[in-house]
Amino acid sequence: MELAFDDSETARELVERTRAFMDEVVIPTEREEFLSGGDMTDAVIEALRAEARDRGLYAPQLPEEYGGLGLDFRDVLPMFEEAGRSLLGPPALRVDAPDEGNMHTIEMVGTDAQKEEWLRPLVAGEYTSAFSMTEPMQGGGSDPKMLQTTAEKDGDEWVIDGHKWWTSQGDEADVLLVMARTNQEAHPYEGCSFFLVPPDTEGVELRREVPYLGDAWGIGHPEVIYDGVRVPEENLLGPKDEGFQIAQRRLGPARLTHCMRFSGMAQRAISVAKAYVHEREGFGEALSNKQSLRFKIARAETRLYAVRTQVRHAARQIARGNEARTEVAMCKVFAANVVNDIIDDMLQLCGGNGIARDLPIAHFYEEVRAFRIFDGADEVHLRSIARASFENVDREELATVTRF
């Protein structure tokens, strides 16, 4: 279903070209390489990236001087949605997590030297990266104030000690973005910092790969031990003690890009299910003539339209210089639940074919459930939304109500 949004002419033109790339190159490759039981090999991804470069679609969100297209965030968001229609789309366009958010962080607060050493090869796809912030119990997670990892200054070096897990892509990363407490006397929100840590640094140990739901891609989320890890002063990423502010600036846009990638996944699931029920006959007619199925599709389209509109509004707020923390939280929790519901429903409409891996929906189903956990669990976002909601309680209104 084609719906009109107030996207710029640039955004609409990019979507058209990205859709052609997805339809002509990425989805056929997905069918040939991935759905047939193959792996997402480096050779497959590099071939797709080469085609994306040739079509002027590669790394649209990153600065031209480092190999991207230097486009406005609002213009590239719809491209993220198109990329999300296939699990191969985001890495092909270099808009894949966690690298997308990590590249944005280095571009945002890194020094010129850090950008040359890390950002340039990351944009080129020569390096991969990992975001090492979450810790096992009783460390930082949904309550990031519980962060236990420390970094102590020793001469011109920082010494990092801690235990992390869910370090996405940590098993193959060329650089780890590690968050640690650098001021033990201050509140964690005012005493944490980020460091760029090469994984071959002495004291870095990948303890184990964490098995998880939806690991079709084989992307690891290992536990990582930092035991007396020494990095030079120049590996401090951004200002000292401003780690939480940096994380917030990173996570706002990153959450919106996640919403758009997953909305693209939901849109393709709807398309697949519509094609299936249109062709499948049962009880004397095509399933698409059954009102209950038609209404399920209609509700899915309606809710997804709300997600897509909501994300665009939050992106406009960020582009205007606002943090938009409440708007982003609303987008994240709403989108995560909507796409989970839609993909579950579309799998159901396809019956046995839905759980078969001949169609992409089974892969989508495995991947999408984690969306309600990562980048902030539903409950964390609902808590922040509720806090903002109750900040402006109208006590006069309450007085009026209690008179009756």
**Long-range contacts formed by 69-73: CB under 8 A, 24+ apart:** 71/10, 71/14, 72/8, 72/10, 72/319, 73/253, 73/315, 73/318, 73/319
CA distance 252 to 325: 7
Q: What is the mean pLDDT of residues 11-20?
A: 97
Same structural domain, 252 and 210? no
3-state secondary structure (DSSP) of residue 177: strand
With tokens 């340039």, the residue in question is 120
Same structural domain, 376 and 269? yes
Q: Which domain holds residue 253?
A: 244-390
Same structural domain, 263 and 332? yes
- Number of Cβ within 10 Å of residue 35's Cβ equals 18
Q: Is 395 a residue whose pLDDT tops 70?
A: no
Same structural domain, 385 and 259? yes
Domain CATH for 330: 1.20.140.10
Q: How many domains does the chain have?
A: 3
CA distance 293 to 32: 30
Same structural domain, 256 and 215? no
* pLDDT, tens digit, 9 for 90 and up, residues 315-356: 999 988 888 999 999 999 999 999 999 999 999 999 999 999
Q: What is the mean pLDDT of residues 5-28?
A: 96
Q: Is 107 a domain residue? A: no
* pLDDT, tens digit, 9 for 90 and up, residues 75-133: 999 999 999 999 999 999 999 999 999 999 999 999 999 999 999 999 999 999 999 99
Q: Is 338 a domain residue? A: yes
Domain boundary among 214, 237, 260: 237
Same structural domain, 181 and 198? yes
* Amino acid 353: pLDDT: 95
Domain boundary among 55, 71, 96: 96
3-state secondary structure (DSSP) of residue 86: coil
Q: Is 173 a residue whose pLDDT tops 60?
A: yes
Same structural domain, 318 and 380? yes
- Number of Cβ within 10 Å of residue 172's Cβ equals 15
**Any idea what the Cα angle at residue 109 is, between residues 107 and 112, rounded to 5°?**
65
With tokens 């209950």, the residue in question is 292
Measured torsion, CA atoms of residues 377, 160, 181, 170, in degrees rounded to the nearest 10: -20
Domain boundary among 237, 267, 283: 237
Q: Is 2 a domain residue? A: no
Same structural domain, 249 and 363? yes
**Long-range contacts formed by 240-243: CB under 8 A, 24+ apart:** 240/182, 240/193, 241/182, 241/183, 241/186, 241/190, 241/191, 241/192, 241/193, 242/193, 243/179, 243/180, 243/182, 243/192, 243/193, 243/194
Evaluate whether 266 touches 223 at the Cβ level (below 8 Å).
Answer: no
Domain CATH for 139: 2.40.110.10
Same structural domain, 52 and 186? no
CA distance 288 to 115: 53
With tokens 């969100």, the residue in question is 61
Q: Is 195 a domain residue? A: yes
Q: Is 212 a domain residue? A: yes
Same structural domain, 328 and 383? yes
Domain CATH for 36: 1.10.540.10
Same structural domain, 173 and 215? yes
Between residues 59 and 42, the one the model is more confident about: 59
Same structural domain, 68 and 146? no
Q: Is 40 a residue whose pLDDT tops 80?
A: no
Q: Is 119 a domain residue? A: no
